[in-house]
Chain A
């Protein structure tokens, strides 16, 4: 089985997001792997462990620091790592989807995994667009994948706790929301070993695309209200909560 995982490096929100001009100040923010992509890598490695094959992890190098994420993926069980030398921290998901599709095109993938969305833009377009460019079916909201021969059984989540099981023919693109198991831990000794021994293939970005969106202004959200702490004994607190609910017409 030839498995490809498309990953996305995004600005970390552990810190206050610094703004410069009409976009994020990319020079003063850390980049991290998108959380859905961590699940996506785990799901890919689980499929490989079940049926055999190779896992290739590929991503756009936004600020020249993607190697860390790729070494981590290799330590978790991926076999090959590829980075597209984008060097444009502002490249949007449409641009990245085009570059990724062009690079994945010749890989002969049976399954392409992509995180269903990324927390920086919540755009959710990388998976579907890769599928469109490569003329493959796409299924999103994926919470488990079992591959057998030339088809896969995929669980997809819908709103309100509803799920459905699909049988999908391969090749396919799966937008992973969550892996069937929590992502495994890669011991640092393995990660460092990968950093010293693994080779990361470099690919120049090819093609052009854009979401068409123009950033006019970006600003941190304005704090408008604060939480009110209700003091007193548990009885007093309960009484105040009931009063509050009544005053809002909720009780």
Chain B
């Protein structure tokens, strides 16, 4: 029979699954291998939730941990969540529930297609519906979205107040009273956040210079709420979706251009389930079509060494890696350098999946912010501009370059860089 048992918690000499003894020959090693049995309840609790079935697929290969942005600044990763559930952690009650940014890098490498982009929202929704702990800042963002139509809690009637800073006409589709070729969905942060407004104003000037027939929704525009959905508030997302689809369908337009990748993801990938299937593109994809007309407008040299951060929801989630780079390369004087983690393996800024509204909570469970890690990576390339294409990122990285002592790196949206080249330093 078997030799001496090595540790006290060794459970079994034989493992029999579906009538087949899988224990192996006793002398396959010097001693009998350790066979441990776990109770699957806490794994099943998650895998039984609608859309979270793939949680049970994990076979612990740990490829996900190697690419998980949260593990770089902490102790995390989908494989670990499975292991923790195996050893007694109820994910719906653990702080780990709120750390995932749904960046989808794990899904890219997972051989078993364990999809955290679906699992985490389902587990979070369960926690919210059961009245479990929800980070206070996130609650605030949910409440603001429900009350004011945007997570910042700004008044709806000021949604188009940013127009004044554009210095060019920004038509409102309701006032225009006719069909337009482009409906530009501006987004909450470009409408209200001071640094977001800079990008919105730049976009307005670029669209005008290119002679694009566009209009915005103005005071009728409301948040896409995709990040709120990923943070677990599906009911809120559905309410906003119903309102938005009604607004979008009120007017005649050929194509929608969005400033933000999260809006792109919502309108292009999720809204079809709710009956909205119309063409939606990110501004980078849209403007890349106009490169020939755009290039002669880019008169002023922007002598900067620029590194570009791929937004997770533009890159991994929607496959757009080249258009932003083409736009940056079109600017005279620009030297484009890459960070080590780029394109498909781009590092997450920490803002996705509701992370935008959980910074203080996340800080308690990580060694530094994801945005700070990324700001340091950007600085290490020797770049003096970190170019972004997502409205969450400008404010995140502007804080991060300051807090990591890299203030010499300017954080600018591609729109702002194009605008600078068009008009010269203002």
Interface residues, chain A, CB within 8 Å of chain B? Answer: 12, 14-15, 28, 30, 32, 182, 184-185, 187-192
Interface membership of B142, Cβ < 8 A? yes
A188 near B239: Cβ-Cβ < 8 Å: yes
Give, as a whole number of angstroms, the nearest-CB distance from B125 to chain A: 8
Which 3 pairs show the lowest CB-CB distances between chains A and B?
Answer: A189-B235, A188-B235, A188-B236
Q: How far is the CA of A32 from the CA of B155 in the complex (A)?
A: 12
Number of interface residues of B (CB under 8 A): 24
Contacts of A30 in B (CB 8 A): 147-148, 155-156
> Quick check: A187 and B153 within 8 Å, CB to CB?
no
Contact check, A15 vs B235: say whether CB atoms are below 8 A apart: no
Partner of B155 from the list A15, A182, A187 (CB cut-off 8 Å) is A15
Contact assessment for B131 and A184 in the assembled complex, using a CB-CB cutoff below 8 Å: yes
Q: Does B193 contact A (CB under 8 A)?
A: no
Whose C-beta in chain B lies nearest to the C-beta of A15? B155
Report the separation of the CA atoms of residues A191 and B139 in the bound assembly, to the nearest whole angstrom.
14
Q: How many A-B residue pairs have CB under 8 A?
A: 44
Asked if residues B146 and A188 are in contact (CB atoms below 8 Å), the reply is yes
Overall SS of chain B's interface? helix
Cβ contact within 8 Å between A187 and B129? yes
A182 near B239 (CB under 8 angstroms)? no
Residues of B within 8 A of A (CB): 125, 128-129, 131, 134, 136, 139, 142-143, 146-148, 153-158, 233-236, 238-239
In the complex, the answer to whether B128 meets A187 with C-beta atoms within 8 Å is yes
- Whether A182 lies near B233 (C-beta < 8 A) is no
Point out the residue from A14, A32, A185, A190 that lies within 8 Å of B142, measured CB to CB.
Answer: A185
Sampled A-B contacts (26; CB under 8 Å): A12-B155, A14-B154, A14-B155, A15-B155, A15-B157, A15-B158, A30-B147, A182-B136, A185-B134, A187-B128, A187-B129, A187-B233, A187-B235, A187-B236, A188-B146, A188-B235, A188-B236, A188-B238, A188-B239, A189-B129, A189-B234, A189-B235, A189-B238, A191-B146, A192-B235, A192-B239
Among A15, A32, A189, A192, the one with the most B-chain Cβ atoms within 10 Å of its Cβ is: A189
A29 CB → nearest B CB, Å: 9
> Which chain A residue lies CB-closest to B147?
A32
Known A-B contacts: A14-B155, A187-B128, A187-B129. Give 19 more (CB < 8 A): A12-B155, A14-B148, A14-B153, A15-B155, A28-B157, A30-B148, A32-B147, A185-B128, A185-B134, A185-B143, A187-B236, A188-B142, A188-B233, A188-B235, A188-B236, A188-B238, A189-B238, A190-B235, A191-B146
- B139 near A185 with CB under 8 A, answer yes
Residues in A whose Cβ lies below 8 Å from that of B157: 15, 28
For the complex, what is the distance from the CA of A12 to the CA of B158, rounded to whole Å?
14
